[in-house]
Structure 1
């Protein structure tokens, strides 16, 4: 798949009580945040992972979910925002040398 064929990732919505048990959340300290690359506006943009949420299996999500909270400049205009993304998606990539867990 070439970069031109990569769809932009779909943002996830925040957890609510209707989603089942509270997710397990890992918050990364500012000095040690992993990177996640996000395909947006025709190029890969490097973001910092603030948190990883593991949603436990429930009636709504029988397999559970893995959601990352990422700080990223989606348009290249220096406006950095927080976004939630469910993993995996073609428009998300792990920083080389880092694992997805």
Structure 2
């Protein structure tokens, strides 16, 4: 079975950009991605619909890090959907009822953009490193740096909560998906994302100020 096919970021010389639609941060689909012959758990952040009909999914996925001796680290990657190397996770949260199975028929439905609370950003507003991460590339890396000794599960849970707080604080139509911020075009120069992140950090022990 082939590995997932990584899709490069859009550039102006590639023609029309994809439509980027972001999943609700607190209810994002869980996926599995085949990388280097191994199925890795991932969380879908955004769906990219390209003009030529391709669909790509931007995910946060934990992959082996060379500088960690094979230990896992969170990365933001975008992979082609429908290649057979991405699938809905076998289980998902079921609230107070614990976990429930997701059958094969629901796999495509998991990737459908939710109608409730959906936003449709159209342009990039910069990266996490530029606006809030400092030396860290992803939210997960930032949170992990502030939680010395925490388990991978604890870091992932805290990062999801921190990410959700940031999205709650951003103006309507502006979102953090993966390691990028997206928002309406043209960009509003009055939106100071770095200041918004600092405001969230004042109420949290997990932001860059804690590292």
Q: TM-score range by the shorter chain?
A: 0.7 to 0.9
Aligned to 1:66: 55
Task: Report the structure, 1 or 2, having the larger strand content.
Answer: 1
- Structure 1 residue corresponding to 2:75, chosen from 77, 81, 96: 81
Q: For 1:21 and 1:42, locate their aligned partners in 2 and report how far apart those are by CA, in whole Å.
A: 33
Deviation by residue 1:20-64 (Cα, 9 ceiling, x = unmatched):
22221111122011122111244321100111010113xxxxxx3
- Structure 1 residue corresponding to 2:25, chosen from 3, 24, 30: 30
| TM-score normalised by L of structure 2 | 0.39
> When the two structures are aligned, how many residues end up with a matched partner?
90
Structure 1 residues 17 and 7, CA, compared in 2 at 3 Å: closer, same or farther? Answer: same
Which fold has the larger relative contact order, with Cα–Cα distance below 8 Å and residues 6 or more apart in sequence?
1
| TM-score normalised by L of structure 1 | 0.74
Give the match's secondary structure for 2:8: coil
Instruction: Name segments (4+ residues, structure 1) moved above 3 Å.
Output: none
Bigger mean CA offset, 82-91 vs 35-44: 35-44
The structure with the largest alpha-carbon Rg is 2
Task: Report the structure, 1 or 2, having the larger helix content.
Answer: 2
Unaligned runs of 5+ in 2: 65-69, 90-101, 113-211
RMSD (Å), alpha carbons? 1.9
- Structure 2 residue corresponding to 1:90, chosen from 81, 84, 92: 84
Deviation by residue 1:65-92 (Cα, 9 ceiling, x = unmatched):
2111010012372301001111211221
Unaligned runs of 5+ in 1: 1-5, 58-63
Give the match's secondary structure for 2:83: coil
